[in-house]
Amino acid sequence: MSEAVSTTTHLRLTRRGRVVFTTLAALPLVAVALVVALNGGMAVAEGASVAPAAPVGFDYVTISPGQSLWQLAEALAPTSDPRDVIAEIVSLNQLPTDSVQPGQRLALPAGL
C-alpha cells in the first residue's frame, strides 16, 4: 500500500500584498469616516433647537404719479446712497427692474 503524502503550503504575503490587503481593509473605514464628516454638520444643525423668529413688519409706500425710486430713496434715507436704497427696495419687492408705476405699493426695508 502506498501512503498518501499530505503537503501543506504556507501562504506568504509579499510587501506589495500586505499593502494591497491593508488598503482594501481600510477603504470601508475611510468611506464611513468621509460620510460622517460630510453629514456631521447637517446633523448638528438639524438637531439644534432654534426659537422661531418673531414676525417682521414692513412699512409700505404707494408710488405717486411722477415719483421714481430715486426720489423715494432720497426722501426715505437722505444720508444714504440712493443706489443702495433702491437696490434694497428692488430686492425686497422682487421687482424685475427699478421702474415703478403710479399706485404701486412697495414694502420698505427695515431701518429706513
Q: How confident is residue 48, by pLDDT bands cut at 50, 70 and 90?
A: low
The parent domain of residue 79 ranges over 59-108
In this structure, the answer to whether residues 32 and 64 fall within a common structural domain is no
> Could you tell me if residue 3 is inside a domain?
no
Q: Whole-prediction pTM value?
A: 0.50
Looking at the structure, tell me whether residues 44 and 82 fall in a common domain: no
Helix (H) or strand (E) holding 97: none
pLDDT tens profile 63-78:
999 999 999 999 999 9
Say how far apart CA 16 and CA 108 lie, in whole Å.
70
Q: What is the mean pLDDT of the chain?
A: 83
Instruction: Quote the number of domains for the chain.
Output: 2
Residue 4 lies in a domain: no
User: Is 65 among the domain residues?
Assistant: yes
